[in-house]
């Protein structure tokens, strides 16, 4: 415990600043129920992720149940301890404040999930249902900020970014079909007229509505409007379709080289031809990846497909920060399959090999299986090189 409390915790706003000074976007990995646990966070951190999210944790259960606390949130006592945001699902200000108070010594900040579309969450007025409850969301973040301040944490936004006691409070949202509702929501939740007087340190926007399936591309136009309206008042992260750094559906001065991909927005030009228009999003501060980083934890290090080394790094991290064996297998089946990047659909294992892997019954079998497959592929590559 003393070890972890001694580790210097870095303020997320400082990370935003470092990324901007390096003329790039901030790289973050998304909250993913079931998946974004410590061993995975450590793996993506090794491959260039600046800031990691835990899966959503239900604040009420976390506050009341020691078992929930032990199983939902793990930190490393021996490092590496990636800069981490703990995400909560909550609908009562005091519940979010209390849960945040419990995790604050071990984390860079806390985040409220206003995006989960699942029916059970919405029925309990959590997740995306909160997009219709802007005053409640504002009350949850202000109560939490006040609780952390009373506990002795520095929650003074940019002015506290150098403090080792600095902590952030943020929210992750979806958009409404009518973007004016999203703007009303953001106005209410960030509050204050200026950057110095806001209620949230930063905002993550997933530009899909509660009803939009994840197979539908994100709405880049709404992201452009929201970032140009609010990007000077609050740092904004994009969650959605961050599949590879080389093929984002927009351009930004903080992306170099800029992607070659285009959006669905096409402006009619002369004659029958249309010239695809790529929207520029200069006020976006960072990226958050979910499905793509699950398949390829090395995404931010510039890999378009998962390398074997990332599999090895993940297994090493699992050995130190164990995950249930079935969950480890699920992670590996994601990492060994074709990823989300359209430019590179190579897979470490083919479909048949992946089914074979899923039949492994323990870690020893699994490690032997992967070692053997990797060695066979290495040998084939060498033979191919010689033949070629």
Ligand X SMILES: Cc1cc2nc3c(=O)[nH]c(=O)nc-3n(C[C@H](O)[C@H](O)[C@H](O)COP(=O)(O)O)c2cc1C
Distance CA 278, CA 305 (A): 24
Report the 10 Å Cβ neighbour count for 368: 11
306 annotated active-site: no
Residue 66 phi, psi (nearest 5): -60, -35
Least CB distance from residue 165 to ligand X, whole Å?
26
CB 275 within 8 A of CB 269: yes
Check the annotation: does 33 bind a ligand: yes
CB 276 within 8 A of CB 250: no
34 Ramachandran zone, left/alpha/beta (phi>0; psi -120 to 50):
left
Least CB distance from residue 59 to ligand X, whole Å?
13
Q: Euclidean distance between the first and final Cα of the chain, in Å?
A: 56
Residue 116 or 341 with smaller CB distance to ligand X? 116
Distance CA 111, CA 99 (A): 11
Least CB distance from residue 72 to ligand X, whole Å?
11
- The conformation of residue 154, written as its DSSP 8-state character, comes to B
Check the annotation: does 326 bind a ligand: no
Cβ-Cβ contacts under 8 Å for 181 (sequence gap 6 or more)? 131
- Which of 114, 116, 336, 360 is catalytic? The answer is 116
Residue 166 or 249 with smaller CB distance to ligand X? 249
Buried b (16+ CB within 10 A) or exposed e, 96-116: bbbbbbbbbebbbbbbbbbbb
Least CB distance from residue 26 to ligand X, whole Å?
15
Cβ-Cβ contacts under 8 Å for 73 (sequence gap 6 or more)? 54, 57, 62, 86, 103, 106
Buried b (16+ CB within 10 A) or exposed e, 3-36: eeeebebbbbbbbbbebeeeebbbbbbbbbeebb
Least CB distance from residue 90 to ligand X, whole Å?
12
Pairing of strands 274-276, 286-289: unpaired
- 240 three-state secondary structure: coil
Least CB distance from residue 87 to ligand X, whole Å?
6
**What residues make contact with ligand X under the rule CB under 6 A?**
30-33, 35, 55-56, 87, 113, 115-116, 172, 206, 214, 239-242, 289-292
Residue 56 or 161 with smaller CB distance to ligand X? 56
Check the annotation: does 206 bind a ligand: yes
Distance CA 60, CA 71 (A): 14
Check the annotation: does 235 bind a ligand: no
What contacts 24+ positions apart, CB below 8 Å, involve 118-127?
121/89, 122/210, 124/91, 125/91, 126/58, 126/89, 126/90, 126/91, 127/56, 127/89
Least CB distance from residue 92 to ligand X, whole Å?
18
Check the annotation: does 211 bind a ligand: no
Residue 291 or 354 with smaller CB distance to ligand X? 291
Check the annotation: does 81 bind a ligand: no
Strand partners for 236: 203
Where in the sequence numbering do the catalytic residues fall? 116
**Residues annotated as binding site for FMN?**
31-33, 87, 172, 206, 290-291
């Amino acid at each position: 415990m003393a070890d972890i409390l001694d580790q210097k915790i870095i303020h997320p706003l400082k990370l935003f600043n470092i990324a901007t000074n390096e003329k790039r976007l901030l790289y973050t990995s998304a909250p993913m129920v079931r998946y974004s646990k410590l061993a995975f966070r450590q793996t993506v951190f090794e491959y260039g992720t600046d800031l990691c999210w835990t899966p959503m944790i239900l604040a009420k259960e976390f506050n009341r149940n020691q078992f929930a606390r032990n199983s939902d949130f793990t930190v490393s006592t021996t490092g590496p301890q990636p800069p981490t945001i703990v995400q909560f699902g909550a609908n009562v200000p005091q519940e979010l404040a209390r849960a945040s108070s419990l995790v604050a010594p071990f984390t860079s900040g806390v985040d409220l999930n206003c995006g989960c579309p699942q029916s059970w969450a919405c029925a309990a007025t959590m997740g995306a249902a909160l997009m219709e409850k802007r005053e409640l969301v504002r009350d949850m973040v202000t109560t939490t900020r006040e609780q952390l301040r009373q506990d002795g944490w520095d929650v003074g936004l940019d002015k506290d970014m150098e403090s080792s006691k600095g902590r952030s409070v943020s929210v992750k949202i979806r958009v409404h079909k009518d973007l004016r509702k999203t703007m009303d929501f953001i106005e209410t939740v960030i509050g204050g007229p200026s950057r110095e007087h806001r209620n949230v340190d930063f905002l993550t926007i997933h530009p899909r509505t509660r009803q939009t399936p994840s197979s539908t591309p994100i709405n880049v136009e709404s992201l452009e409007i929201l970032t140009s309206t609010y990007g000077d008042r609050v740092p904004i992260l994009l969650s959605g379709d961050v599949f590879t750094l080389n093929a984002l559906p927009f351009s930004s001065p903080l992306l170099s080289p800029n992607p070659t991909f285009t959006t669905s927005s096409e402006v009619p030009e002369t004659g029958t031809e249309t010239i695809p228009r790529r929207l520029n999003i200069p006020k976006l501060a960072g990226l958050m990846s979910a499905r793509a980083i699950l398949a390829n934890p090395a995404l931010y290090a510039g890999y378009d497909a998962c390398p074997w080394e990332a599999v090895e790094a993940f297994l090493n991290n699992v050995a130190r920060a164990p995950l249930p064996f079935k969950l480890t297998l699920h992670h590996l089946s994601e990492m060994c399959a074709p990823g989300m990047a359209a430019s590179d659909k190579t897979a470490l294992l083919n479909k048949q090999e992946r089914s074979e892997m899923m039949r492994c019954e323990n870690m020893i079998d699994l490690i032997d299986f992967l070692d053997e497959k990797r060695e066979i592929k290495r040998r084939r590559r060498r033979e191919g090189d010689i033949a070629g």
